[in-house]
Amino acid sequence: MEPSMYLMMIEKTKTYNKMTKKVVLEHVENIKRLDDEGKLEICGVLKGYPGMAGMYILKAESREEAEELCSREPLVVGGYATYKLADFQIANRENNYLL
């Protein structure tokens, strides 16, 4: 069975601008690990949305697995960000754009 997709919206906390270079490097390593494990579809920064740091689209076998992946994000662990997780259903040619 194909893994489900989940959207992780990363929201800045009041301490976001105080994060260290060490945390940024850990964040990048986490992105690389997710990608290497086949758990990351895409990620990026959200520009022009105050309070939002970025987003991931994750591939996971369950919502519980997606929650676990989110909870290990170094920005979240360090208290620099929180997250919201949503189920993400892709609309494409193969599924007739969900019609």
At residue 32, the 3 state secondary structure works out as: helix
Model pLDDT for residues 16-65, shown as the tens digit of each residue? 999 999 999 999 999 999 999 999 999 999 999 999 999 999 999 999 99
Taking the C-alpha atoms of 94, 84, 32 and 25 in order, what is their torsion angle to the nearest 10 degrees? 160
Q: pTM of the full predicted structure? A: 0.91
Handedness of CA 42, 83, 32, 62 (dihedral sign): negative
Burial label for 8, CB within 10 Å (0-12, 13-18, 19+), is: buried
Which residues make Cβ contacts (< 8 Å) with residue 21, sequence separation at least 6?
none
Domains along the sequence of the chain with CATH: 4-91 (3.30.70.1060)
